[in-house]
Amino acid sequence: MLNPLIANVANAPAIVLGVIATLTVVLVTSLKGTGWEPTTDISDEVLERRASAVPETDFPEPGNRAVGGGGGGGAIPAGGAEGEEGELEDGSAVSAGPADVEEVEYFDVEFVKQGKTVELSNDEPILEQGEDEGWDLPYACRQGQCVSCAGHITDGPSEDFVEHDNQQMLEEAELDDGYTLTCVAYPRDSFSIETGEAP
């Protein structure tokens, strides 16, 4: 019987040949590649097909959309930018408010209790401009629906000097006496005013 050690030595060339053959097959296979080809890019085709499936919209190009949805500011009437007259869906006209002036003008307004005369513009309410001066002026609703911000124009009927934006509290006689709601009153001339004065 052949010694096992001698038998292994006799098989060594066969083992080496087997390893070489295996490596050769692996090398040839990897050089040839797998034959897989990437498919053509179909993304454009898919996008076009999807676009054709979506109906056309009448939306205008986005140009004035608030980021984040909350949407600062009020609705702009259809067909009109701020400062222009627009039209509601039912066809009724939307008139511009007293803040929508063609040209910003300034008037000297004396705040009697504060002891100071300042220039007020015609496109902001008296209350806001007084606050800009750092004065703690009275107010509550800021919408012309209470009388917390009332003041008294000492020069005569208040509507000779200011234009109210939808004030709902003062009677004609009170306006004629010089009373005004400063939160919705826009200067139209120079005048003197006592703030914190209600009829």
The residue ranges that bind ligand FES (CB under 6 A) are: 139-142, 144-149, 181, 183
How far apart CA 42 and CA 56 sit, in angstroms, is 23
Q: Which is nearer to ligand FES, 96 or 146 (CB)?
A: 146
- Smallest separation, CB 146 to ligand FES (Å): 4
Closer CB to ligand FES, 120 or 149, in the complex: 149
The distance of closest approach from Cβ of residue 59 to ligand FES in the complex, given in angstroms and rounded to an integer, is 38
User: Could you give the C-alpha distances from 194 to 10, 72, 76, 98, 126, in angstroms and in order?
Assistant: 122, 33, 35, 22, 12
How far apart CA 153 and CA 159 sit, in angstroms, is 9
> Residue 97: what residue type?
G
Minimum CB separation of residue 92 from ligand FES in Å reads 26
Nearer to ligand FES, 109 or 149 (CB): 149
When the beta carbons of 149 and 193 are compared against ligand FES, the nearer one is 149
How many Å apart are CA 92 and CA 175, to the nearest integer?
Answer: 29
Task: Tell the smallest beta-carbon distance from residue 196 to ligand FES (Å).
Answer: 12
| 90 three-state secondary structure | coil
